[in-house]
Amino acid sequence: MSSPKNNYEGLGFGERLRECRESAGMSVDQAARDIKAPPRYVLALEREDWSAFSAKVYAQGIVRRMARILRYPDADGLVADCGREWDIAHGSGARAWHREISGSHGNRRVTVITPRRFGVIASAGLGLVITIFLTARLVAFTVPPELIVRSPADRSAFGTSIVPVAGSTEKESSLTVNGRELTLDERGGFNESIELPPGSVSLHFTSRNRFGKTQTVVRNIFVRQ
Q: List where CATH 2.60.40.10 sits in the chain.
A: 147-223
The predicted pLDDT at position 188 comes to: 92
* Residue pLDDT tens, the chain, 225 long: 444 445 666 788 889 999 989 988 999 999 999 999 999 999 999 999 999 898 999 999 999 999 999 998 888 999 999 999 999 988 754 433 344 444 444 444 445 455 566 677 878 888 888 888 777 666 666 788 899 999 999 999 999 999 999 999 998 899 999 999 999 999 999 999 999 999 999 999 999 998 888 999 999 999 987
Region class of 17: left (phi > 0), else alpha (psi between -120 and 50), else beta: alpha
The predicted pLDDT at position 68 comes to: 92
The CATH class that applies to domain 147-223 reads mainly beta
* The CATH fold of domain 13-111: 434 Repressor (Amino-terminal Domain) (1.10.260)
The predicted pLDDT at position 126 comes to: 84
Instruction: From residue 195, give the alpha-carbon distance in Å to each of 120, 148, 180, 201.
Output: 62, 21, 11, 11
User: For residues 28, 53, 62 and 102, what is the CA-based torsion angle, rounded to 10 degrees?
Assistant: 100
Q: List where CATH 1.10.260.40 sits in the chain.
A: 13-111
The predicted pLDDT at position 7 comes to: 64
Tens-digit pLDDT profile for residues 2-53 = 444 456 667 888 899 999 899 889 999 999 999 999 999 999 999 999 998 9
What is the rounded distance in angstroms from the CA atom of residue 117 to the CA atom of residue 121? 6
The predicted pLDDT at position 135 comes to: 72
What is the rounded distance in angstroms from the CA atom of residue 30 to the CA atom of residue 14? 18
Cβ neighbourhood burial of 7 (10 Å; 0-12, 13-18, 19+): exposed
The predicted pLDDT at position 134 comes to: 75
